[in-house]
Structure 1
Amino acid sequence: MDPSIVPLHTVRVGDPDADDVVVCEVRGEIDVSNVGELHAGLAEAFARGRAVVVDLSRVHFFASAGIRALFDACADHSPDRPMAVVTGPGVRTILRICGLASVAPCLSDREAAARACGDALSGRRS
């Protein structure tokens, strides 16, 4: 690959925090041509931690394939494995229209999303 070409997307998975929450950070454009990387990133994030924050705040195009990947991730993991989504201007409206908030909290920043996951984990432990 030509090093001068900037990829249209990146998917990075971090290490678990103290509450065992892992961040899957997504940037750029997600469509049918690269949604497999999003699926892989979500699977890796759930393998690393008990809860996942999907940070879409730097995504400026999110096709239906990406939306499906988020719904699939929620469906594939039991309720004791919570997921929260950080939305940005590029995805906030489409995720609201699609009803993602009915299966995962959609919040405006990572801290709030991590707190929502931590609260869900604490509630499940009680």
Structure 2
Amino acid sequence: MRDLLPLLPASLAHYAQTPEFRFEGFFDATVCAWRESGAAEWRCGPVEFAPGETDGAEGLFGLLVDGGPEAYAGFAEDYFECAVDRGAVAAVLAGAPPTRRTVESLSADADFEAVAARARAMGFGEPTGPGA
């Protein structure tokens, strides 16, 4: 934990204590990277490796480094074996507030109100525009 979290901002520190990131009572993660609302770039804490070791970042983050909706949509289509709405992916990647159409196009079974509430809590704002 001390290697991954030393620079984690206080506003995000509580996430390391949530059940989603804990295993047998301990913070359990391979990597910790964050981007606060309004920040221009992603951040991470310093991690030191033994000689000859690597962090595996290329395999873990290649898709994120590409960064575009086409890359993620292509990955999701291969992984989930279904068509993915590129416009919906682009809206999510742009940080747009969720719309009912966007949520339903990405997951027909999703509870829109629950997704919208979670998005508001994460700083995405109120649903707007057509299909909100």
What TM bracket, shorter-length normalisation? under 0.3
Name the structure where strand makes up a greater proportion of residues.
Answer: 1
- Could you tell me the TM-score, scaled by structure 1's length? 0.26
* TM-score of the two chains, using structure 2 as the length reference: 0.25
Q: Which of these two proteins has the greater Rg computed from alpha carbons?
A: 2
